[in-house]
């Protein structure tokens, strides 16, 4: 599937994909206007949202209430490389969530396809054309 990337005004970049236009921007410290998440922000958002969707799907498939369930993600950067070296995903479950599903809901979040693509990274081929 192809995605069209448009170089917008200032630091904005727009991705056209599946009928959507997703605008990205850079923070002010990087010369942007901070008017939209940066591409890296969208990368992080995709991981958290994917894990959240798998938790949601898990509950829906078992007719479990989603009320009181939340998912948060915390990233930890390596101080030398400045790269993220660890991501903690916390599935907050209400007190009445069935104990028999606690490990299974973690397994469901681990099935996130974004996470799987990071763990088994694709090859990147970058070329120029006219």
pTM value > 0.85: yes
Q: What is the reported pLDDT for 52?
A: 98
- CATH 3.30.300.20: does it fit domain 39-130? yes
Burial of 82 per CB tally in 10 Å (0-12, 13-18, 19+): exposed
Q: 10-31, pLDDT tens digit by residue? A: 999 999 999 999 999 999 999 9
Domain map (residue ranges) of the chain? 1-36, 39-130
| Alpha carbon distance 125, 25 (integer Å) | 24
Q: 85-121, pLDDT tens digit by residue? A: 999 999 999 999 999 999 999 999 999 999 999 999 9
């Amino acid at each position: 599937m192809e995605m069209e990337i448009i170089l917008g005004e200032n630091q904005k970049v727009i991705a056209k994909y599946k009928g959507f236009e997703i605008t990205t921007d850079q923070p002010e410290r990087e010369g942007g206007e901070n008017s939209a998440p940066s591409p890296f922000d969208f990368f992080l958002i995709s991981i958290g949202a994917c894990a959240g969707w798998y938790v949601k799907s898990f509950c829906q498939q078992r007719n479990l209430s989603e009320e009181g369930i939340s998912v948060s993600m915390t990233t930890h950067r390596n101080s030398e490389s400045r790269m993220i070296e660890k991501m903690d995903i916390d599935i907050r479950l209400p007190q009445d969530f069935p104990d028999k599903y606690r490990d299974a809901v973690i397994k469901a979040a681990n099935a996130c396809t974004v996470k799987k693509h990071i763990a088994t990274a694709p090859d990147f081929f970058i070329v120029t054309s006219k």
